[in-house]
Amino acid sequence: MSEQRTILAVFAHPDDEALGVGATLARYAAEGARVALVCATRGEVGEISDPALATPETLGAVREQELRCSCQALGIGEPLFLGYRDSGMAGTDENRHPAAFVNADFEEVVGKVVRVIRELRPQVMVTFDRSGGYGHPDHVRAHEVATDAFHAAGDPARFLDSLQDGLQPYSPQHLYYTAIPRGFFKNMLTHLKDMGVDAGPMGQIDLDRVGTADEEITVAIESGEYVQNKLRAFACHCTQLSPESVFSRLPEGVRMGFMAREHFVEAGVGATGAIKTDLFSP
Ligand SMILES: [Zn+2]
C-alpha cells in the first residue's frame, strides 16, 4: 500500500507560490496529490498597489487572505503560516526587526518545518534556489530552512520534540529548487524587440547571469490548462499587482507558453541533459 502522493512547498511570502510553481501545484492537486504550502511570513512589508486595499498596519492580514484565495484557486490545501515577519528587501531597516524571519533562530524554524514533514510525509519538496530567485533575504532563508529540514526530518537524532509527540523520522525523496531558465529572458526580450516594445529596466539585465543556466535545469513541468489556475491565483494577490508589466504586453500565446512550463533543479542530482517531466519519478 503506497502512501498518498504529497508535495510540500516551502516559501516566504504570500504570492511566492503563484508565479514560479503555481501551475505545477495546481496540476498535481487536480491529479489527486495532496499539496501543502508552508509560508514563513504574511508579507507584512510588501508593496501596497492601491491604498484602498491595505495600510502598512493591515497588510499582513490582507495578504493572509490573498494567500487563502490563491490556494483555493490552485486547488491546494490551506496555507500553513510559520508566523514570522516579512524581513523586507535586502538593506532595508525592516531587516533588523526582531520578529523578522531572517532574525529567527535557525534551528527553531527548521524544527517547525521538520515537524510538518514528519506529519505529512511528502515524497516531494519544493522551494527557492540558493539565490532566492532574486536575492530577497526571506527567499534565501526559506531555501536554507527547507534544505536543512529535508535532510533533518529523517534523522532520528534531530528534533526529538516531534518524535516525542509520536511522529516518526521521515526522509522525503526529492527536493526541487524553482528555476527560471536564462533562455526565458532571452526569448522574452527577443519577442519584445521584434514587437518594437521598449523592455524598460528588463532590457538592462545581464543575459549571461540572470536566472539559471539552461543546461543546469533538470526538470520541466508542462501544466497545460492549469495555467488558468495559476493566473487566477496570481490575481488574488491584489496588493502586489503592478500595472502593465512588459511581460503583459507579449502576445497571449507566447505569454501562456512561458507561464505553463515551470522549471526546477533537483537538489543533489547533477544535470545529465535528460529532463524529468514528473516531480515524483525517480
Ligand atoms: Zn517573496
Q: Average pLDDT, stretch 51-67?
A: 97
**pLDDT tens-digit readout, 159-189:** 999 999 999 999 999 999 999 999 888 888 8
Task: Let me know if residue 171 belongs to a domain.
Answer: yes
- Cα separation, 71 vs 37, in Å, equals 8
CA of 250 to the centre of ligand 1 (A): 24
pLDDT score, position 1: 46
**pLDDT tens digits along 244-267:** 677 777 888 888 888 889 999 999
User: Residue 199 C-alpha to ligand 1 middle, in angstroms?
Assistant: 23
Whether 277 is covered by a domain: the verdict is no
pLDDT, one tens digit per residue, over 33-58 is: 999 999 999 999 999 999 999 999 99
- Distance, CA 143 to ligand 1 centroid (Å)? 12
Average pLDDT in the 185-207 region? 85
Q: Is the pLDDT of residue 216 over 90?
A: yes
Ligand 1 center–CA 182 separation, angstroms: 20
Residue 147, pLDDT > 70, answer yes
Q: How far is the CA of 161 from the centre of ligand 1 (A)?
A: 30
How remote is the C-alpha of 282 from its chain's centroid? 22
CA 133–ligand 1 middle distance (angstroms) = 9
Specify if 281 maps to a domain.
no
Decide if 257 is inside a domain. yes
Euclidean distance between CA atoms 152 and 110, whole angstroms: 8
Question: Does 53 map to a domain?
Answer: yes
| CB 43 within 8 Å of CB 86 | yes
DSSP secondary structure letters along the chain: -PPPPEEEEEESSTTHHHHTTHHHHHHHHHTT-EEEEEEEE--TTS--S-TTT--TTTHHHHHHHHHHHHHHHHT-PPPEEEEEBP--STTSGGGG-TTBGGGS-HHHHHHHHHHHHHHH--SEEEE--TTHHHH-HHHHHHHHHHHHHHHHTT-TTS-HHHHHTT------SEEEEEE-BHHHHHHHHHHHHHTT---GGGGGS-TTTSSB-GGG--EEEE-GGGHHHHHHHHHH-GGGPPS--GGGGS-HHHHHHHHHEEEEEETT----S--B--TT--
Span from the CA of 220 to the centroid of ligand 1 (angstroms):
22
pLDDT class for 2, splitting at 50, 70, 90? low
Centre of ligand 1 from the C-alpha of residue 178, in Å: 13
Q: What pLDDT does 33 receive?
A: 98
| Centre of ligand 1 from the C-alpha of residue 235, in Å | 15
In this prediction, residue 251 carries a pLDDT of 81
Mean pLDDT score, 54-69: 98
| Domain assignment of residue 279, yes or no | no
Q: What is the pLDDT of residues 3-38, one digit of tens each?
A: 899 999 999 999 999 988 999 999 999 999 999 999
CA of 139 to the centre of ligand 1 (A): 6
Gap from CA of 239 to ligand 1 centroid (Å)? 13
Whether residue 206 is contained in a domain is answered as: yes
**Full residue range of the structural domain in which residue 237 is found:** 6-266
CATH code of the domain covering residue 251: 3.40.50.10320
Taking the alpha carbons at both ends of the chain, their separation in whole angstroms is 18
How far apart are the CA of 167 and the centre of ligand 1, in A?
Answer: 31
Give the number of domains in the chain: 1
C-alpha to C-alpha distance for 123 and 136, rounded to whole angstroms: 27
Q: What is the pLDDT of residue 245?
A: 72
Report how far ligand 1's centroid is from the alpha carbon of 171 (Å).
26
Task: Provide the angle, in degrees to the nearest 10, between the axes of the packed helices 59-74 and 227-236.
Answer: 170
Q: How far is the CA of 194 from the centre of ligand 1 (A)?
A: 31
Residue 282 has pLDDT above 60, yes or no: yes
Q: Is residue 176 part of a domain?
A: yes
